[in-house]
Every structure is written in structure tokens, then in C-alpha cells.
């Protein structure tokens, strides 16, 4: 999605419960890593959801996953230009790492893990011309 002021991008992240019992993703959130020392022309907002149960409120609803089954998480990132013109403000965008934090519960105590994805300058530029 793109407007004069902002662009919203997304990526899909597949997952599988490799265990033999039910598992639950209790919480999941993306943390964009774009410090102003690195690039300060845009404001970043990120959120995630299960694509099978879309939500528009930014809340991540827990997911119960059957053994050997999986699903897909969709991560959204909105870049909003600080001057109000995203085409100008996005010039010079380097790249942005996004940490995906998630809490998993099974038959044992919960644990928190994280994975990292990267939004590249080339991906942002390609989205701007579409």
C-alpha cells in the first residue's frame, strides 16, 4: 500500500510445530531496528498477525498449533516520511533489520525467542515503482 506520505510493506513468515504435542504462540511482535543515527527521514511502525485470522487493531491473537502443522505470520511495516513526501524521504534508505520476538508455550514452561528479517533498500525501491 502506498500513499503520498507513506508506504506499507509486508512479508509472510511460515512456521511449523515440529513437536509431537500442541504448541501455542502466546505473543509475537516485530521490533524494527532503524536508529535515527542510521537513517532519520522516516517514522517506522510495525505489527504482525496470523494470516488465517487477520486483525486491524495491532493485537496479536494467540495461536494453537497442532503437532507437525503450521501456518503463516504476516509482518507489516509502514514507513512514513517525516516531511510528508515518502518518495523524497525514502531516498538514501539503507536497510532495516526487524527482530521478530515470540513467546511459545507447550507442555514445558514458556520460552521467548527471536528471529531477524531484513528490509533492504532494493525491496523498498521496488515497492515504490509498483
Residue 35, pLDDT > 90, answer yes
Residue 129, pLDDT > 90, answer no
Look at the pTM and tell me if it is higher than 0.85: yes
- Residue for grid cell 487477520: 54
What is the end-to-end Cα distance of the chain in Å, rounded?
10
Residue 38, pLDDT > 90, answer yes
Local confidence band at 88 (pLDDT 50, 70, 90 cut-offs): very high
Residue 52: per-residue pLDDT: 93
- Residue for grid cell 513526501: 85
Residue 81: per-residue pLDDT: 96
Task: Locate 74 and state its grid cell.
Answer: 504476516
Q: Say if CB 60 and CB 48 are below 8 A apart.
A: yes
Residue 19: per-residue pLDDT: 87
Domain limits, the chain: 6-124
Kindly state the percentage of the chain with pLDDT values over 90: 85
pLDDT tens, residue by residue, 55-87: 989 899 999 999 999 999 999 999 999 999 999
Assign a CATH topology to domain 6-124: Immunoglobulin-like (2.60.40)
Local confidence band at 107 (pLDDT 50, 70, 90 cut-offs): confident
Residue 110: per-residue pLDDT: 86
Task: Tell me the helices (H) and strands (E) count for the chain, helix number first.
Answer: 2, 7
Mean pLDDT of the chain: 94
Residue 108: per-residue pLDDT: 76
Amino acid at each position: 500500500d502506498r500513499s503520498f506520505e507513506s508506504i506499507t510493506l509486508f512479508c509472510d513468515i511460515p512456521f511449523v510445530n515440529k513437536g509431537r504435542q500442541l504448541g501455542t504462540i502466546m505473543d509475537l511482535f516485530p521490533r524494527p531496528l532503524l536508529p535515527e543515527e542510521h537513517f532519520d527521514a522516516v517514522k517506522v511502525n510495525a505489527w504482525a498477525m496470523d494470516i488465517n485470522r487477520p486483525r486491524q487493531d495491532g493485537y496479536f491473537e494467540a495461536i494453537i498449533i497442532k503437532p507437525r502443522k503450521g501456518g503463516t505470520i504476516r509482518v507489516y511495516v509502514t514507513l512514513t516520511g517525516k516531511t510528508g513526501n515518502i518518495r523524497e524521504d525514502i531516498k538514501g534508505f539503507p536497510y532495516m533489520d526487524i527482530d521478530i520476538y515470540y513467546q511459545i508455550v507447550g507442555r514445558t514452561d514458556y520460552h521467548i525467542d527471536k528471529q531477524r528479517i531484513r528490509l533492504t533498500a532494493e525491496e523498498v525501491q521496488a515497492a515504490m515503482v509498483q
